[in-house]
Structure 1
Amino acid sequence: MTSADLIHSSGHPATARQNAVLIADAEVGTASPLVESLIGKGLHVCLADTADAARRHLRERTISFAIVELVFDDGDGIGLVEAIAARYPRCRTLVHSRFCNLSNAVKAIKSGGSDVLPKPTDVDFLIGVLLNKDLRQPTFRSSFPAPGNVRQEHIRDVYRSCGANVARAARQLSMHRRTLQRLLKRTPLL
C-alpha cells in the first residue's frame, strides 16, 4: 500500500464523509504535522502523491476541502484544480506550492482554486485559510511573513540557484546588476 492509497480518519464516520480533505502533494506524508492537525480537527484526510492518485480519490470519495501542489511527476496541479472544481464546485481548494508566482496564482484561481499560498507556510495559518477562519486574530497575523522578508528570501533563492553569479541572478530577477549588488552589500546573509 503506497502513501497515495492511505486514508486517515478521526474515527467519526458521519463527520468524515462530510468533511473530507484531499491533500495532493508528494511532500506530505502520514506523519506530517498538517495531517495530524487536520485529523485532530475531526477531518477525514486522503493523501495522494501523484496527480493520478488524486484523480482516483476524486472518483471514489466526496471531498469538501483540497490542498494541491502545482507540480507532479505525472501531471500538473492546475489540471487537478480544474478537475476538483468540475466535480465538486463547492469544494474549497487551496493551492500550496513552492512554484507560486503571479502567473501560476492567477491560473490556479481562474481554474477554481480558492486561495494560493507559497511553501513553506505555518500549519495553523494554512488550516485557517483552508477552513476559512477569521485570520485577523493576532496568532494568525504573526505567523505570516513580512513582505520584505519574503522578497529577501526570494532574492536569496534566485541568487543561490544562479551559483552566486550576480549578473545572471540580476537578469532572472529583472533587476539591474548594480541594484542587486547594493542589496547584497546591505544584507550580506543573502
Structure 2
Amino acid sequence: MDTQTPFLIVDDDELFRQVMTRAMKRRGFEVLAAADHEEAMMLARATPPVYATLDLKLEHSSGLQLLPELLAVSPKCKVIILTGYSSITTAVEAMKLGAYNYLCKPVDADDVLGALDRPAQGDPDAEIAENPPSINRLTWEHIQKVLQENDGNISATARSLGMHRRTLQRKLQKRPVRR
C-alpha cells in the first residue's frame, strides 16, 4: 500500500477521528479528517483521496449518502464504511453504492489497513455462523431495511411497520442486538 497518499477519515466522534488520524499519519499517509458530510466533500474536492473511511451514522447525514458523492469526486477511492450499528441491509447497500469494505466498530488502523489489503472479490472460505440470528436481531435488521427504504424518515418508517413513532425511536436508540 502506498504511503503519502491522501486518506480521508470521516467520523463525527472526535476522539475516534483523532486517534485514527494519528495512527494513519504514523503509517505515512496524508490524512484529511472531517467531522461531517460538507467538510468531507470540501476536503475531497481539494485533494481527492485514494483511501477513505466513512462513519455510517453521521450527525446530519450518513456514510451511505456521502459515498456516491465521494466516489464521483474520486472514482478509484477505496472506501470502507465503519459502523457501530451494523446490519445486513446497510452492509449490502454500502457495497451496492461502491464501498470497498464494511467494518463493525470497534476497529483500529490495522483493521482498516487489513480490510484495504484484502481483495475486493470476497472470500469463499469466510466463516459461516453456526447459530442463526436471534428473533431480536432479525427484527433490528428488518427495521433498518424499512428505515433505509424510507430514506431515514422515522415517521414514514413507523407507519410502514405499524408502530408508534416514539416506540420506533426508542428501539433505534438501543444498540443493535447481538446475533
Q: Same fold (TM over 0.5)?
A: yes
1:53 to 27, 31, 39: 39
- Equivalence for 2:22: 36
Quote the Cα distance in structure 2 between the aligned partners of 1:110 and 1:68: 15
Please state how far the C-alpha of 1:99 moved relative to its aligned partner.
Answer: 2.1
Q: TM-score, length-normalised on structure 2? A: 0.62
- The alpha-carbon distance between structure 1 residues 106 and 35, as it changes in their structure 2 partners (threshold 3 A), is same
SS at match of 1:67: strand
Quote the Cα distance in structure 2 between the aligned partners of 1:107 and 1:169: 21
What does residue range 97-136 of structure 1 map to in structure 2 within 5 Å? 97-130=83-116, 132=117
1:88 to 58, 61, 74: 74
SS at match of 1:71: coil
Contact 1:66 1:92 in 2 (8 A): yes
Contact 2:50 2:77 in 1 (8 A): yes
SS at match of 2:7: strand
- The alpha-carbon distance between structure 1 residues 133 and 107, as it changes in their structure 2 partners (threshold 3 A), is closer
- The alpha-carbon distance between structure 1 residues 74 and 171, as it changes in their structure 2 partners (threshold 3 A), is closer
What does residue range 155-174 of structure 1 map to in structure 2 within 5 Å? 172=139
- The alpha-carbon distance between structure 1 residues 28 and 92, as it changes in their structure 2 partners (threshold 3 A), is farther
* Higher Cα radius of gyration: 1
- Equivalence for 1:72: 58
- The alpha-carbon distance between structure 1 residues 88 and 103, as it changes in their structure 2 partners (threshold 3 A), is same
- The alpha-carbon distance between structure 1 residues 81 and 172, as it changes in their structure 2 partners (threshold 3 A), is same
Quote the Cα distance in structure 1 between the aligned partners of 2:129 and 2:39: 35
Unaligned runs of 5+ in 2: 120-127, 142-179
Quote the Cα distance in structure 2 between the aligned partners of 1:115 and 1:83: 17
Quote the Cα distance in structure 2 between the aligned partners of 1:66 and 1:170: 29
User: How far does the alpha carbon of each residue in 1:15-67 deviate from its partner, in whole angstroms, 9 at most, with x for none?
Assistant: 63xx11110101144641x2222111110111111111111111211210000
Please state how far the C-alpha of 1:133 moved relative to its aligned partner.
Answer: 5.4
Q: TM-score, length-normalised on structure 1? A: 0.58
Unaligned runs of 5+ in 1: 1-14, 135-145, 156-167, 175-190
- The alpha-carbon distance between structure 1 residues 90 and 99, as it changes in their structure 2 partners (threshold 3 A), is same
Quote the Cα distance in structure 1 between the aligned partners of 2:36 and 2:49: 17
Contact 1:52 1:74 in 2 (8 A): no
| Equivalent residue pairs, number | 130
> RMSD over aligned Cα, in angstroms?
3.0
Report the identity percentage: 22
User: How far does the alpha carbon of each residue in 1:50-109 deviate from its partner, in whole angstroms, 9 at most, with x for none?
Assistant: 111111111211210000011222212112111122221111000011122111011111
